[in-house]
Amino acid sequence: MIRFGVCVPYNLVTSALRLGADYAEVPGHSAAEFVAQQQDQLPSSIEATNLFFPEGYNLFSDPEGKIVAHAKTAIAAASKLGVKVMVLGSGGARRAPAEMDPDEALEKFVLWAYQLDDLAAQFKMRVAPESLSPEETNVGTELRPLAHLLLHKGLAFTADSRHILRELTTISKAIPATPIHVHLAMPDGSPPRAHSLELQSFAARLLDLGYSGRVSLECRWTDFESELPAALSAARNLFRGAA
């Protein structure tokens, strides 16, 4: 059965659950800091992370040791929170040099995803890259080619409605296989609306693929307390065939 959560900073986890979310998705890059602060008082129902790398990291220019050290720390901390999936967006960290061949850059990013997923597997977790918009990065801006490379290596991916619906292709072509995780928002980043034809097509494609995992609302909120319950209701209506 599909579970519906929301991407929030750590200080809003309790509020998210109170307002009806099944789980929370939190920043992965600061998981170690949060765990150290909370010690034995870790919240429950944190099941996913986003924002894998903080600002100042780059997979194409930083020493491998720096990348791996951060990844090991973040993954170990996330496992203590009960996380199952770590989404790999991090547009700045995966921005390749302008002179680098785009195909080579994408392949290198996927190789990094393979290494990170291997580290996460030690804690029975997955690392799942998502496609991002061209404004955010220059690597992995279309889901279909990214997903094909990931699947070829036995890796998982995240389907993000905000990014996918901006691609100039059909939903069925954009999402070639079943993702392990989903981010949901309107194309402009606002909370989902059940009557949105675009989101209806997005949800229908996932249901056709048999998706039954987690759907995290990754939105820009004007008033989190008042908007989240309605957004969760809209998300559940969109996926009512599997909820």
The tens digit of pLDDT for each residue in 6-36 reads 999 999 999 999 999 999 999 999 999 999 9
C-alpha of 33 from chain center: 20
What total of structural domains would you count in the chain? 1
Query: What's residue 242's pLDDT?
Result: 45
Mean pLDDT within 91-120: 98
The reply to whether 62 falls in a domain is yes
Q: For position 153, which CATH number holds?
A: 3.20.20.150
Query: What's residue 2's pLDDT?
Result: 97
The reply to whether 243 falls in a domain is no
Q: Which helix (H) or strand (E) holds 233?
A: helix 224-238
Task: Provide the domain limits for residue 87.
Answer: 3-238
Mean pLDDT within 216-233: 98
Whole-angstrom distance, CA of residue 229 vs CA of residue 213? 20
The reply to whether 109 falls in a domain is yes
The reply to whether 41 falls in a domain is yes
pTM (predicted TM-score): 0.97
Whole-angstrom distance, CA of residue 49 vs CA of residue 40? 20
pLDDT at position 41 over 90:
no
Instruction: Please give the structure tokens belonging to residue 164.
Output: 């996918």
Local structure of 15: helix, strand or coil: helix
